[in-house]
Structure 1
Amino acid sequence: MSYDFSNICTGNIEIKDADVTSNPIIGINLIKNSNEVIAAAQKDNKDWSISFDEALLSEPLLVEIKFQNGDKKFIQANDESFIFLGGTVWNDLNGDGIRQSNEPPLQGVTLQNADSSDNVTTQTDQNGKYMFPGFAASGQHLITVTGLGEVTITKPQSLNYDVTPEKGQQITDLDFGITANKGVALDMDVSTGNYEAIYPSNNVESELSACQDDEIWIAVAATGVKDLDTYQVEVSFDTGKLQFLEGVEDNPISGIKNLLKKNGGITAGFLPMEKTPGTVNISNTLTGTDCNQAPEGSGVLAFLKFKVLNGNADAVLTLGNVFFLDCNRKNEEITALKNGKVTTLPCDFNSDGTVDFIDLGLLANHWLFECVGDGWDPKYDLNGDCIVNYLDLGIFGDSWLKESPCY
């Protein structure tokens, strides 16, 4: 592959013999300001050409070559003083700050480059790689990871990179190791769960809209575990709103297996039990004593099935009494918990699918009723304080003319 910049002054750049069969080129762009595309190349057999307004030559320009495997290559078009800053972001499963062969790259992580004049962001590609190309200014640059939530950065120890490159310097080893904090979350929509992600908050929905008599599956997901051997989790709920039906350790439809089986381990047997009304206790353990089978990272502990009994009130599912036991018999109580909620349309008192004047009339018919008096109906007590008053009217107003998905 060769690059012909001889006609750049007339607004033309040519890339010759760019037919790379082992890793084909899928696009070539001319960019400025690190990531702003100003012209796309046209392909003719093995050659590509870019035409652009030569007035742009007053600014530093880069040729960006994009390959099929997700890699990118940047060529300085009209200024060799550009600064290139980049690296790789990976899921540091064991949290030691050193990338192992089984630790995957992280795609879609947002990084920020703050220099003396501006803040620029970019995201990692499918290989976990990122690049801030084409900075004309030298001086101090601060590279940070943003927007991941409850995670720990294991590399670098300073949590960011503060670099002062020379003009024309390319630094491509500004790598970040990231591990999820240890915890448990309820995923109310198992269809979107990518439980191998660094932090399932991006793939865990804490709310699910449902209707009366619906049967719903939810997932109990663990994050940031290390050498997990045994677990216990309790899920509590209001028996007037939900009914526990069953629990399983794997999801055979989606192919999602229990986290304990991640490294080829065999479980002793999943035990879901509603030990008292409104509290489901789940537990499981690996057989044997091989610590190599004890998983690390994030994944599903259980799938639980419930039936919605009350279509007029939201139902909260609360995690508690969570313990992890690692393969060395170290016992730890887990307190980083993310609960779930089944949402309904609580103000549709006549169940016709819309909150309107009819429902307002029904609320008025129960105005100032108290839970100790005759004619009490708890569905009109929207805030649960044992009296139907202006507080409930305010909640009702928030749902005015909303439509239920149940009709």
Structure 2
Amino acid sequence: MKNLRNKIAVSQILSEIILLGIAIVSISIIYTQVLAVPGPQDTANVTIIGKMEDGHPVFDLQRGESLERDTKIYITIAGGYNKSIYTFDQLFIQNALGNNLWNIGEQIILPTENVTGYGGPQVEGTIIDTKTNAIVFWGVLQEGIITRHKGGIWHFDEPYWRINITDEVKDSSGNLNHGIAKNNAIIINHTTQPFNTIHNNSGFFNVLRDAYVRVPSSWSLNISKTITVEAWMKPQLLPPIIDIVDLEEKFGYTPYIAHASGDCYAIVSEDQSKRGTLQTVRISTDGNITSLNTTNFGDAKTSIALRPTIIKMTEKMFLIAYNSRYQNSNELYVHLRTYNISTNGSIEYTGNELALQDYASSTPNRPSLQKITGDIYAIAYWIPSQGGILKTLNISSYGQFNASSIKMM
């Protein structure tokens, strides 16, 4: 009889060893996988409101935890034109915070350039809590243009320009600095005038008509560092000009000129604010012009002064007529004023004014003045409801009006 006991014993030991190895390997795998998974991370739980105020990024910490001094604020302007990083170590931020922490209720204002207004850039803000390496705020603070450069490119190659039409002169830079053609600025066609152009059409500006292109001010034209200007020009032969002088900063609407004395002349007009402007200039016999004195009448906040005209009454007394409101009315009435203008161009208002209140109009129409004889003057004007009106009145040599003397046809 054979004894198989030893063989069976060996088989049991091997089985136990194999099972033990499997158990150890399984536990090791599970242990490794469990420990390899990172535990929960600390994240800053905050509510931050970002906005633009007076052209600058502003951030308010409204709720949650305080943020540490290593917090970073990123500002991106125009999608890449300017990228800035701000930290709490900067003095202007330290002054805004009560301590080295950004606490609830505290506000941070960043001193960037003013980026609001027409043609402003897009502004983005990002705030990172460095302690947890987490973004606690991101947002677009202002919608706007996206660019990597300031300035504008005007080719002046449009098919044509319409005068005083917004965005008629195109900016090809992408910064939306489109212009407005003013005072008979026109396009020259390359096909019909090839010698006055290079490749395509060109803009033509007649200096005698003060032709120009007006481009509204914008952020991308506010260049504070170096600037490069490049242009192609072909000067034209123009009639000789003896002299040019700026009569008034915003002079030029419906001007009217009258001789004062000697080489002194008086000019009335309305400025951009709809005020009346009376200015004296000296024009020498060789054509040179010198500006002397300027005064205004009418106030755009309460009244307006439209379509003024002027005549000489005596050696130094002048009569001005214009359209303006009277008291609280929105209708236009003809107003008369008298001024003293000396031989050296000085201007003095006499304090005398008369409003012809019988007929009103919503349409301004320049009055016409004529001295008849002595102190008698005639004034003619037009209103839609009555047509042409002719009146006479008495005005003393001192510039005083006699309202009772008015006669009308």
Specify the TM-score bucket, using the shorter chain as the normaliser. under 0.3
TM-score by length of 1: 0.27
Q: Higher relative contact order at CA 8 Å, sep ≥6: structure 1 or structure 2?
A: 1
